[in-house]
Amino acid sequence: MTVTHAPGAELPHVVVVGGGFAGLAVVKGLAGAPVRITLVERRVYNTFQPLLYQVATGGLNAGDVTYWLRGLHLKQPNVRVVHEHLVGIDHDARRIRLLNDEWVDFDYLVVCNGVTANFFGTPGAKEHALPMYSRSQALRIRDQLFIRLENSAFSETKDDGLRVVVVGGGATGVEVAGALAELRTAGLAPAFPEIHGDAFEVKIVQRGTELLKAFHPRLREYAAQELERRGVSLHLGAGVAEVRPDGVLLTDGTEIPADLVVWSAGVGPHAEVDDWDLPRAKNGRIVVGQDLQVEGRPGVFAIGDIAATPDDLPQLAQPAIQGGKQVAKNIRALLEGRPTEPLRYFDKGTMAVIGRRAAIAEIAIPGTSARIKLTAGLAWLVWLFVHIMSLVGPRNKVTTLAGLVTRYGFPFHRRPIPIVGEVPTVRPPKREPEPHEAETTDVSQAEPARQDTGAAPSDHAAQEADTGARRR
């Protein structure tokens, strides 16, 4: 679809819905283009989701992995940021409706609002499990983690600790479990002498028989061995049938007690996408063609996790970034009357970190189908470099590098200090006096006290009240 404008007329309007990897790639790809851009995002910031597990486990501040979206306007004047929700699309009138009932006209529309946690209809999962797909969810996990640890510190037995179950054996699940195990071993064991080390349990539940299906078998085996060496228990071959307030029930009938359940088993589209009148695949994602235009909707694009591409690209950062760049090129082509081009995706590889000096990586060699397979410290250094360089903004790069160095680097890793939030004051339960103690207090202590002071009962009470007031 080509949009023509007479000289002096208002510039074509590109509306981008979603400020994630894909949305930022589109916006930056249209820098200097003869268009007006409106970026619609429900949050005022962009989130670097690959490092959210570091926020959830106290390794990084939330601000280290978020970027203020209005900062885009400082270098790109053709961008306007609107902090609102998209609730409807009028395709005939070519306009969208926001939650505040504002209508925004568009010449080109790019839908890249991402996805959210998918509980797959598992009973109790939505009520009792904690997903980790946004900054607020990561902070909730962090706060619940330390609240439960403080509660365990006042338990009557050192064996009553914290039991964490991570549902899902993909990259997110492995990284969360590895970070929790490392936090337990290096930081919390000396800080919580009230809790026996073995009482802080970390378990991964995976429906399949292996972790990290997207990786080479040799790398999967290395990751499993590293997790077990760090004290993470693996429950493979059975999914979660139910999440309960005190644990999970597996499909094979196994019951696993849990104080905290972290859900990283899968994602799905937001519910509001149902109202946007866009073609959907079986998994709920929006169906697009090779050039990433929505089928039957010329001038409307969908990219990132929400898009079902003909090549079935994975829901990762690189497909979203490369898709965003291609959409920007195709919009420029339509403005100039040229045909659009298909996305030629280049798989740069994948990686996952288990802990300090332990990671796996598959890096593609340009021009060939071969991949370099890395493990241990070298893979960890590659992971660190890629993630730091992928962050938006120089401040985020510096603060995140400092945070990860102090968590993993020598000799800081031996005494890590996790970042914590608001933890309510935890007090030990009041102990009821034994019968013989109550009798001793009433007879042998209370009565002689009045005899020693020589005061009447009422005078004695007044003296005690006055003494308590002075102490307060």
Q: Which segment of 9-13, 46-50, 66-70, 107-111 scores lowest on mean pLDDT?
A: 9-13
Q: Please write the tens of the pLDDT for every residue from 27-37.
A: 999 998 999 99
Quote the pLDDT of residue 449. 42
User: Which one is predicted more confidently, 10 or 97?
Assistant: 97
User: In this structure, what DSSP letter does residue 434 have?
Assistant: P
Residue the block writes with tokens 């490369």: 322
Sheet of 95-98: strand order equals 86-90, 95-98, 103-105
Q: Please write the tens of the pLDDT for every residue from 272-306.
A: 999 999 999 988 999 999 999 999 999 999 999 99
Q: Given a cut of 80, is residue 153 above it in pLDDT?
A: no
Q: What percent of the chain has pLDDT over 70?
A: 83
Q: Please write the tens of the pLDDT for every residue from 364-417.
A: 887 777 889 999 989 989 988 888 888 888 888 899 888 888 777 766 666 667
Residue 329 CB partners (closer than 8 Å, separation 6+): 29, 341
CA–centroid distance for 143 within its chain:
14
Query: Would you say 113 and 18 are in contact if contact means Cβ atoms under 8 Å apart?
Result: yes
Helical ranges in 336-443 per DSSP H: 376-390, 394-408, 435-439
SS3 assignment for 202-262? EEEEECCCCCCCCCCHHHHHHHHHHHHHCCEEEEECCCEEEEECCEEEECCCCEEECCEEE
Q: Please write the tens of the pLDDT for every residue from 216-248.
A: 999 999 999 999 998 899 999 999 999 999 999
- C-alpha 196/C-alpha 313 separation (Å) is 45
The encoded tokens of residue 341 equal 């081009």
Q: What is the mean pLDDT of the chain?
A: 84
The encoded tokens of residue 76 equal 């790109």
Query: Would you say 142 and 57 are in contact if contact means Cβ atoms under 8 Å apart?
Result: yes
Whole-angstrom distance between the N-terminal and C-terminal Cα of the chain? Answer: 77
String of DSSP letters for 279-329: -B-TTSPEEB-TTSBBTT-TTEEE-GGGEE-TT---SSHHHHHHHHHHHHH
Residue the block writes with tokens 């309960």: 244
No. of helices (H) and no. of strands (E), the chain: 14, 25
Would you tell me how many other CB atoms lie within 10 Å of the CB of residue 263? 27
User: Which one is predicted more confidently, 416 or 171?
Assistant: 171
pTM above 0.85, yes or no: no
Mean pLDDT of all residues in 45-59? 90
Quote the pLDDT of residue 187. 61
Catalytic residues: 175
User: Which one is predicted more confidently, 146 or 90?
Assistant: 90
